[in-house]
Amino acid sequence: MDHSFLSALILLLLVLDPLGSLPIFIPIMRSVPPERRTRVALREVGIAFSVLLAFMFLGDSFLQVMHLSERSLEVAGGVILMIIAIRMIFGSSGESAYGLEPGREPLIFPLAVPLLAGPSAMATVLLLASRQPDRIAEWVGALSAAMLISGLTLVLADRIRKLLGDSVVSAIEKLMGLVLTAIAVEMVLAGLKRYFIGGL
């Protein structure tokens, strides 16, 4: 299927899912001083953008050099999401559901990678670049616009939290844990199905 700039932008927004990231982003950012939250959000979005941009140009070569496939990315991403989802639902002692020590500012993990620049986003930019390499400038533009929208959404996360309240955010977080569990299982099953049916 050939994509236009608009369809690529919409596809990337669906994959990045900035609104769906809010229930994960908000509790992580609670430990960050309010005056630094905007800077941290923009930094993580910038890191995610850099990772996806690099993967758009170098992803296929990297997978070949490491002898990896998109199927292995899918299964690995599903396992990571499953671990995060279980911690979101049942909680954990001593650290947050996302592997961060209390009071520690997030850096790269888990906001930039894998929340924004996750396996599905990497596979999407890789497919866009590999299927229509002559339109790479459009795909870079679509990725830039999608990341800009994601950044604005995350910067406004604190206002959204105040509007909804902590109890609602906590309930949404646990609900998202259930959703993430289903997504994680689906990713693992899809990767295994493609491996066994599609061949090596």
State the Cα–Cα distance between residues 41 and 67, nearest whole angstrom.
33
The arithmetic mean of pLDDT across residues 23-51, rounded, is: 87
Based on the structure, what is the number of domains in the chain?
1
The arithmetic mean of pLDDT across residues 134-162, rounded, is: 90
pLDDT of residue 99: 57
Task: Tell me the residue range of the domain where 173 lies.
Answer: 5-198
State the Cα–Cα distance between residues 181 and 189, nearest whole angstrom.
12
What pTM was computed for the model? 0.70
Percent of the chain with pLDDT over 70: 86
State the Cα–Cα distance between residues 113 and 64, nearest whole angstrom.
21
The model's confidence at residue 52, banded by pLDDT at 50, 70 and 90, is very high
The mean of the pLDDT values for the chain is 80
Selected residue with higher pLDDT from 114 and 57? 57
pLDDT of residue 140: 96
